[in-house]
Amino acid sequence: MATLDLKRKLAILSDAAKYDASCASSGGTKRDSLGGKGVGSVDGGMGICHAYAPDGRCISLLKLLLTNFCVYDCAYCVNRVSSNTERARFNVDEVVDLTLGFYKRNYIEGLFLSSGIIRSPDYTMEEMVRVARTLRETHHFRGYIHLKVIPEASPELVNQAALYADRVSINIELPRDDSLARLAPEKDVGGIRRAMGAVRLGVEAGAEKGRRARPAKFAPAGQSTQMIVGADAATDGEILKRSEGLYGAYRLKRVYYSAFSPIPDATARLPLARPPLVREHRLYQADWLMRFYGFERAEIVAENDDLDLEIDPKLAWALRNRGDFPLDLNTACREQMLRVPGLGVRSVDRMIEVRRFKTLVLEDVRRLTRGLEKLKPFIVTGDWTPGASTDSADLRVRMTPPPPRQLDLF
């Protein structure tokens, strides 16, 4: 086999990593090198967001696979063992040198490392841990590290990964257990859950207050996971129900949704076309409502239903529950205000602060929000009431954004 130079390896293995969406960095522990020892820093609580991926995600991580060789044959994965794709493999020192070189040139602020499975899950996980350990202990790297955990690896290796990394992620892969068994027979959903549970226990032990001898920081930025959307027949309700369970059982920082992308030489068990990207977008919006706006999954979408692709989930809920509107912004509680279409967390908190000193009027709302027209049918202020427009039959039509239109050249 021809030997690949480092540049070609980087091209292959950075491109192969593009399918991993779960690479945000918020919630990390603050570290720096002001004491004169070490390389780099990470600002705790701040997301890394200086570069943009082709799909719009804002990142500045060196995002790599250790290798795209894989002994597994997951039907939806372009790196599966039966796939006809160009292969490459980094050794530990190459990944370490690339990370330090890019960091010192101010190209990146951290490393996201995943891998195909080579030899065995334990061997692969051990190589990934060696990368993180070498960066931390040999080079005293203070930047951000995110490791993708292989759930089939031994608990000891998973623990080591979480001790060196800021965040770890274990992909649940698909929303249905039977779909995972059918499309990725080498993967065990029970093993994935056990690994997630072990990480949760380690994170909670590391954060426990009142202990005299606290253990070492264990994945201080927590854990995340990723689900492929559209590779099976799961509805949006099923997907969000799985996310709801994961948030509750494992205290995940975030569930990522990745629209299925058709791959070369795909099996007939997979769909021929990818789902619309707006479906992925609506799932993220619904996920946000569950995590930050106090919505239950069942309020957003029934288990056997899909989200409305034409309008966002909060507006869809408001149109189904018009009896809760219009809402008086001068008397409503925070929880009620967060359910108004067009009002975000920051806007609501600012309004609550302002109304301590004066009666909110429409001009105040205009200054504190991004789009007043979307709000007007659902709110009451000191100088505004929507009258019958909240119950008008054409409200949905008026609130639905127009379809995109090709710009005229002349």
pLDDT at 96: 96
CB distance 76 to 265 below 8 Å: no
Q: Which two tokens stand for residue 91?
A: 């050794």
Per-residue pLDDT tens over the stretch 15-53:
888 878 765 555 455 555 555 556 655 544 333 334 344
Nearest CA-CA partner of 198 in 244, 163, 174: 163
Q: What is the pTM of this model?
A: 0.86
Per-residue pLDDT tens over the stretch 311-362:
999 999 999 999 999 999 999 999 999 999 999 999 999 999 999 999 999 9
Cα 381 from chain centre: 36
Average pLDDT, integer, range 187-200: 91
In the predicted structure, residue 165 carries a pLDDT above the cut 80: yes
CB distance 129 to 106 below 8 Å: no
pLDDT at 268: 76
In the predicted structure, residue 103 carries a pLDDT above the cut 70: yes
Rounded CA separation 253/28 (Å): 11
Nearest CA-CA partner of 89 in 71, 53, 62, 64: 64
In the predicted structure, residue 183 carries a pLDDT above the cut 70: yes
Please report which confidence band the pLDDT of residue 246 belongs to, taking 50, 70 and 90 as the band edges: very high
CB distance 366 to 372 below 8 Å: yes
Q: Where do the domains of the chain lie, and which CATH numbers do they carry? A: 7-300 (3.20.20.70), 318-399 (no CATH)
Average pLDDT, integer, range 93-103: 94
Separation in Å, CA 258 to CA 145, 181, 224, 287, 386: 22, 19, 13, 13, 39
User: 37 or 87: whose pLDDT is higher?
Assistant: 87
pLDDT at 384: 95
Average pLDDT, integer, range 156-169: 93
Say if residue 266 is exposed, middle or buried (CB neighbours under 10 Å; 0-12, 13-18, 19+): middle
Average pLDDT, integer, range 381-409: 86
Average pLDDT, integer, range 70-95: 91
CB distance 322 to 391 below 8 Å: yes
Share of the chain above pLDDT 90, in %: 62
Per-residue pLDDT tens over the stretch 248-285:
999 999 999 998 888 777 777 888 788 998 999 999 99
Rounded CA separation 314/196 (Å): 30
Average pLDDT, integer, range 125-148: 94
Q: Which two tokens stand for residue 42?
A: 């990470």
